[in-house]
Amino acid sequence: MSGADATTRHPNPPERLGPYRILQVLGEGAMGIVYEAEETSPVRRHVALKVVKAGLHSKEIAARFDSERQALAVMDHSGIAKVFAAGATESGEPFVAMELVKGLPITEYCDAHKLSVQERLELFVGVCQAVQHAHQKGIIHRDLKPSNILVAEHDGRAEPKIIDFGIAKALGTALTDITFVTQWGQAIGTPAYMSPEQAESSGLDVDTRADIYSLGVLLYEVLVGRLPLDPGVMGLPAFLARLATGEASPPTPSARLRTLGRDDQLIAHARGTDPARLRGELKGDLDWIVMKALEPDRARRYATASELAMDIERHLANEPVLAHSPSTAYRLSKFVRRHRAGAGAAIIAVVAITAGGIAATVGLVRARRAERVATQEAAAAQHVTTFLVDLFKVSNPSEARGNAVTAREILDRGTERIRGELKDQPLLRARLMQTLGTVHQSLGLYKPAHALLADALQIREHELGPNDQVVAENLTALAAVATLEGDYAEAERLLRAALAIRERRGQRADTATATILMGLAGISARQNKNVEAESSYVRAIAIEETALGASSPRIPRMLRSLAVVQMREQHYPTADSLLRRALDIQERTLGRDHPDVAATLLNLGALDWTEGRFADALAPYERARVIDEKALGPEHPDLASVLNNLAETYWKLNRYAEAEPLFRRALAIKEHALPAGNPSIAVTLNGLASLLRDEKRYAEAEPLFKQALEIRGKAFGPVNPNVAETLKAYAALLRSTGRAREAAALEARAVRAK
């Protein structure tokens, strides 16, 4: 296929994997699938079988599974899922067979059974004891969260069990020579339950106290029904920034309960009480215990999980807890409570008021600091909004004065205004430039987009210095435009500069870093560097899923891009699986007429095309064309890609009369929207020339082949499959016109170019 533009539902489960008979799919993430399976020999039992997903197998992923297997093997505790065996499928994907735990996440179990605060605490003590066992064996879990702590009932007793030590880190001895964390330098974990040191570092300086922080988050959620800080509310970048800098200062559990409005009734009901009594139970000891576990400074947290468990047990026994300042008044209040004497009420009130005053003072200082930042950000955002609203007033009849105004004219007017205004506010000016640059890019207007983003970058580097986070964001945006313009060398330079800034700032595991890696992977893929592309895509998927979970809307795009690499490596079943999974997610979350759905359909059509099923490719291509024409308009470069691929399909089916107008329309759009040397133009030139050659219109075809060869040679160099494709197609024309010597020379070059 002439370089067609290409970028899931999980496959049907196999019937067997070694001695295991597959029963059903239990769960699925971007990196692997967990099956319920029946082991038939040497013993008969049901197991959870965790398998690396087809297409994502690599040395790093295999090492991660090997680490999990070995981590579980050294532990023997009733609160930790046992590992039975490990192996690999016939196609090489590693798997781990472990104890099948049929239970509910701890938060769901507690609410479903309406456990009281005391019952929840008793259950949580068991979790702490299991974590302590792992720590004594030199293992940090690093991803403690409700879905990894399942509760099941045995003989009428609730028993928590921890699963998934897949991102554990060995303390005493190296469980494996390659670990998922140190190899990629990313902050492993789920953001809402992640410790500050996981958010701010490469993962090299994380110890058992990271799990203590996660236990604190979990305890907070078990007691209050809410997270102490929710990334979904404040946005992931702001959340990670606050967490990493130690600015995360959530309210105490009892204070949080007061902010929930009518929801406090539901939360209290799930705990078998009413809001007032629940606040009373939380206030004091439990507030202090939770906040000590959540200390941003790990030196001030509980030193061990056992220490946290013992403090909870002290609270349950009405004994003084370590989390509270051991003052005389506090010890007296505990004595009074144990002995039910009424005289202690006044003392307790004094202690509570004093503690509340201290907490309020600290909170006020932090709130004022955050308020200043928020005020500045709000003012800048308001200025951008006002500017854009004012800009689009030109479409108002009173402003346009009867003349039709196009979107391009509106943007041109905005560009002129930005360049003439706000010279005394350079950073705000740069922000507006990036906003308009992004709009230009989305409309396929790459040249003005490039100019605006380049000017914004120059301002920001001058005002903020070369290592600011905003500069990295600007570099990434500019690289995206350079990629679309076909300047891959410049795009790669910009992306590597952005990545270097984020690494120097310790920001190696957030969505912005995943975006950079996706950009680098895309450039490698366009240059046919499939190994480098696959590595970057897999790393980006891992970061994205860690940061936002498998439901991130960007995951389908990443799967689609990885599928393209699998197609090029002729791993067609894997590519089909990845694409159909991406399509399934997109249609459920975005709807059937979203442009992202069209992009995935385009790739599915390309897969059919590549495997020679040309008639099958027509349906996804035609559906993609309808979506893009409606969503993007008739002049967008993405539509041109669909038209090009549809034309190539009709050409392969010998339906030349239908193919030619599609080729010519695609070429006209690309030549209007893209720079003259863009490799995407060569894709259509090559396809149209091949059609004309097959129709024996040699005089029309030859200059198009020459033009395509010139563009591809400049973009990719002499050794590249795209160059080889055009050389072979052009050689076929020369042979058809009796120029065998010239044809042989091109064919020899094509062999060297592969």
pLDDT, tens only, 86-96:
777 777 777 77
How many domains, the chain?
Answer: 2
Tell me if 640 is assigned to some domain: no
Same domain for 305 and 202? yes
Tell me if 320 is assigned to some domain: yes
Beta bridge mates, 102? none
Give the residue with greater pLDDT, 376 vs 151. 151
For 65-69, 242-246, 588-592, 715-719, which range has the lowest pLDDT when averaged over its residues? Answer: 65-69
For 23-32, 156-165, 717-726, which range has the lowest pLDDT when averaged over its residues? Answer: 23-32
For 106-120, 423-437, 469-483, 620-634, which range has the lowest pLDDT when averaged over its residues? Answer: 423-437
* CB neighbourhood size of 498 (10 A): 26
Tell me if 727 is assigned to some domain: no
Tell me if 650 is assigned to some domain: no
CB under 8 A, 24+ apart: contacts of 424-432? 426/459, 426/462, 426/463, 427/459, 427/460, 427/463, 427/464, 428/380, 428/383, 428/384, 429/459, 430/455, 430/456, 430/457, 430/459, 430/460, 430/463, 430/474, 431/380, 431/384, 431/456, 432/383, 432/384, 432/387
Average pLDDT over residues 635-642: 88
Read off the CATH number of the domain in which 216 is found.
1.10.510.10
* CB neighbourhood size of 261 (10 A): 7
pLDDT(170) > 90: no
Same domain for 124 and 94? no
Same domain for 134 and 87? no
pLDDT(753) > 80: yes
Q: How confident is the model at residue 60 (pLDDT cuts 50, 70, 90)?
A: low
Same domain for 31 and 115? no
CA distance 667 to 685: 7
**End-of-domain residue from the set 271, 301, 324:** 324
Tell me if 58 is assigned to some domain: yes
Residue 338 confidence (pLDDT): 47
Range(s) of the domain holding residue 263: 104-166+183-324
Q: What is the pLDDT of residues 483-535, one digit of tens each?
A: 888 888 999 999 999 999 988 887 777 788 888 998 998 898 888 888 888 88
**Mean pLDDT for all residues in the chain:** 78
pLDDT(660) > 60: yes
Q: Which residues, 6+ apart, have CB-to-CB distance to 205 below 8 Å?
A: 197
pLDDT(345) > 70: no
pLDDT(288) > 80: yes
Q: What is the pLDDT of residues 670-701, one digit of tens each?
A: 998 888 888 999 999 999 999 999 999 999 99
Burial class, 222, CB count within 10 angstroms (exposed 0-12 / middle 13-18 / buried 19+): buried
pLDDT(54) > 60: no
CB 142 within 8 A of CB 211: yes
Q: What is the pLDDT of residues 575-617, one digit of tens each?
A: 999 999 899 888 887 888 888 899 999 999 999 999 999 999 9
List, by residue number, the catalytic residues: 143
**End-of-domain residue from the set 308, 324, 340:** 324
Buried-state track 639-665, b at ≥16 Cβ within 10 A, e below 16: bbbbbbbbbbbbbbeeebeebbebbeb
Same domain for 153 and 57? no
Residue 138 confidence (pLDDT): 75
**End-of-domain residue from the set 324, 341, 376:** 324
Highest mean pLDDT among 339-343, 542-546, 674-678, 738-742: 738-742
pLDDT(353) > 70: no
CB 517 within 8 A of CB 561: no
Residue 221 confidence (pLDDT): 94
Same domain for 129 and 54? no
Same domain for 149 and 60? no
pLDDT(551) > 90: no
For 84-98, 240-254, 322-336, 468-482, which range has the lowest pLDDT when averaged over its residues? Answer: 322-336
Residue 71 confidence (pLDDT): 60
Structure-token pair, residue 366: 């932090």
Residue 544 confidence (pLDDT): 81
Residue 59 confidence (pLDDT): 59
Tell me if 252 is assigned to some domain: yes
Tell me if 112 is assigned to some domain: yes
For 371-380, 639-648, 668-677, which range has the lowest pLDDT when averaged over its residues? Answer: 371-380
Cite the DSSP H helix spans in 465-554: 469-484, 488-504, 511-526, 530-548
Read off the CATH number of the domain in which 46 is found.
3.30.200.20
Q: What is the pLDDT of residues 197-227, one digit of tens each?
A: 877 644 446 778 889 999 999 999 999 999 9
Average pLDDT over residues 614-630: 92
Same domain for 226 and 130? yes
Same domain for 151 and 93? no
CB 687 within 8 A of CB 655: no
Q: What is the pLDDT of residues 94-105, one digit of tens each?
A: 777 888 888 889
Same domain for 95 and 131? no
Tell me if 250 is assigned to some domain: yes
Same domain for 224 and 291? yes
Name the residue type at position 219: L
Q: Tokens 């309210």 sit at which residue? A: 251
Residue 67 confidence (pLDDT): 60
Same domain for 149 and 94? no
pLDDT(731) > 80: yes
